[in-house]
Amino acid sequence: MTKKKVKSSSYLFPRPVVLIGANVNGNPNFEPLAYISSIEDKPPLILIASWETHFTNIGINENGTFSVNTPSEEIIEGTDYCGIVSGKEVDKSEVFEVFYGDLKTAPMISKAPLNLECKVIKTLVNKDFTGAEKGHELFIGEVVNAYAEDEYLTEGAPDITKINTFTYSMKQYWKVGERVAKAWEIGKKYMKD
Amino acid sequence: MTKKKVKSSSYLFPRPVVLIGANVNGNPNFEPLAYISSIEDKPPLILIASWETHFTNIGINENGTFSVNTPSEEIIEGTDYCGIVSGKEVDKSEVFEVFYGDLKTAPMISKAPLNLECKVIKTLVNKDFTGAEKGHELFIGEVVNAYAEDEYLTEGAPDITKINTFTYSMKQYWKVGERVAKAWEIGKKYMKD
C-alpha cells in the first residue's frame, strides 16, 4: 500500500442532486444543491447546506420552509441553469411550473418526479463554530409531505429505477447505474468465508 | 399533473455509501452509513448522522475523531457485513487492514480507495430538538487529511471513474452510471431557448 496525502477536501462520491425551492418576497426561486443528507427517520429530517449569500437562503429564513425537488434528466437543463444564474439578477419563477402544498410557502416543481415539502426546525451557521469569515448555513427541515405521480412509484413508494435522476461529482452529472447487490444480504457471504 | 401524497420520508436518490471508522476502547470498528453530506469547503467539513446506540458512536465521542472511507466494489461484502453485525457482539477489527494518520485514533481502511481523517468540531443530538425519545447523533468533522493511492487519482485529485464505488437506495447498492453532462454548462442551453 502506498497511500499518499491528497488535498484535504470533504470528498463524497457521488453526491445526490436536488433543487431547493423557496419563496423570496413571495416569488418562487430554485437552486440546485448537492450538500444534502437525510439525518433522521422519526420524524423524517433532511439537512441542506447553502452558501450564506445565496438568494434562496433569504426565502428559507423568511418563511421557515423549503422544498426538496428530485430532478429527472428531462429537466437537467433547467436544473443546471438555476445554478448558473442568481435569483438576485434573474427571475427564476418562470423556469418551472410550480405547485404549493399544505405549508403554502414552499414552491415545488411539477415536473420533478419527487417533491418534499419541508418545515425548518433548526438552523445552524457554520462560521459560528468554524471561525471562518464566510460559510454555509445549515437548514434542518422536517419532511411534512412528499409528493409524486403514480408513474414514479412502486407499491406506493418512489422507485429510483423509474425516477431517472442523476448525481453530481467532479463538476459533472452522472446517471444512476445498475443494481449491484442487496444490502444486509451480500455481507452474509463474508461470514461464510 | 396528478401529484399525490406519498408517505412522508426523507427520500434522497441515491445516497452515497461510506464506511465510518472509529476506535472503541482502542480497537478499530466500522459501520457503513448513507446519512452523510459535505457541508463546508473552508474548512472542509463533513456531517454524518449515526443512530445513538451504535457502537461506532462510543468511539467517536471518546476520541473526537472518525474516518470516512469510500469503498470500492472489491470490498462490498465486507462493507455490507459491517452493517449486519454490531461491534458490541463481534470484533470487526479483523475485517479490514487498517492504518492510522496524524490524529492517531481514526482507523482507516487500506483497501478503501479514499480515506478522510476527521476531527469532530461539533456534535448535535437530534432528539434534543425533535423531542423524540431516540434518534441519530450528528457529528460534524473537519477533514484534516485525505489519503489515496495514485491509481485512483487524476491530476492529484480522486477520480470517480477510477474509484468504482457504489451508492445506496431502496435497500440495494447501485453502480455510479455514465456521465450525462457538464455542470454549469448544460444549463446555458436553457438561456438560448
| Chain A residues near residue B16 by CB distance under 8 angstroms | 12-16
Answer whether residue B9 is part of any domain: no
Residue B51, chain A, CB below 8 Å: the answer is: no
CA dihedral sign, ordered B145, B147, B150, B155: negative
DSSP E strand stretches across chain B: 4-6, 15-16, 18-24, 27-33, 36-40, 45-51, 65-70, 98-99, 108-109, 114-125, 136-148, 153-154, 157-158, 166-169, 172-182
A27 domain-assigned: yes
Is B7 inside a domain boundary?
A: no
Q: How far is CA A87 from the centre of its chain?
A: 18
DSSP class of A122: E
Q: What average pLDDT score do residues A74-102 get?
A: 95
Residue A172 in domain: yes
Look up residue A74 and give its DSSP letter: G
Residue A94 inside a domain? The answer is yes
Tens of pLDDT along A49-58? 999 999 999 9
Nearest in space to A127 (alpha carbons), one of B126, B42, B37: B42
The confidence score (pLDDT) of residue B190 equals: 87
Is 80 exceeded by the pLDDT of residue A192? no
CA distances from A48 to A60, A67, B114 (A): 11, 11, 24
Residue A81 pLDDT class (50, 70, 90 cuts): very high
B5 falls within a domain: no
Name the DSSP class of B177.
Answer: E
- Give the type of residue at A138: L
pLDDT of residue A154: 97
Number of domains in chain B: 1
Structure confidence at residue B1 (pLDDT): 64
Give me the residue from A2, A43, A174 closest to B149, CB to CB: A2
Q: Do B171 and A186 touch (CB under 8 A)?
A: no
Please give the average per-residue pLDDT across A89-115, as a whole number.
96
H or E segment to which residue A83 belongs? helix A76-84
CA distance B129 to B73: 37
Asked whether the whole model's pTM tops 0.90, one would answer yes
Residue A4 lies in a domain: no
For residue B89, the chain A residues in CB contact (below 8 A) are none
Q: What is the mean pLDDT of chain B?
A: 96
Whether the Cβ atoms of residue A120 and residue A140 lie closer than 8 Å to each other: yes
How far is the alpha carbon of A26 from chain B, nearest alpha carbon, in Å?
23
For residue B54, give its domain range. Answer: 15-192
Residue stretches of chain B with pLDDT short of 50:
none
CB contact under 8 A, B114 and A11: yes
pLDDT tens for each residue of B57-93: 999 999 999 999 999 999 999 999 999 999 999 999 9
Model pLDDT, residue B191: 82
A65-78 pLDDT tens trace:
999 999 999 999 99
Residue B157 in any domain: the answer is yes
CATH at A176: 2.30.110.10
- Chain A positions touching B39 (Cβ under 8 A) are 10, 35, 47, 49, 126, 136, 138
Is the ipTM value over 0.95, yes or no?
A: yes
Residues of B numbered 138-177 whose beta carbons fall under 8 angstroms of chain A's beta carbons: which are they?
A: 138, 140, 143-150, 153, 156-160, 163, 165-177
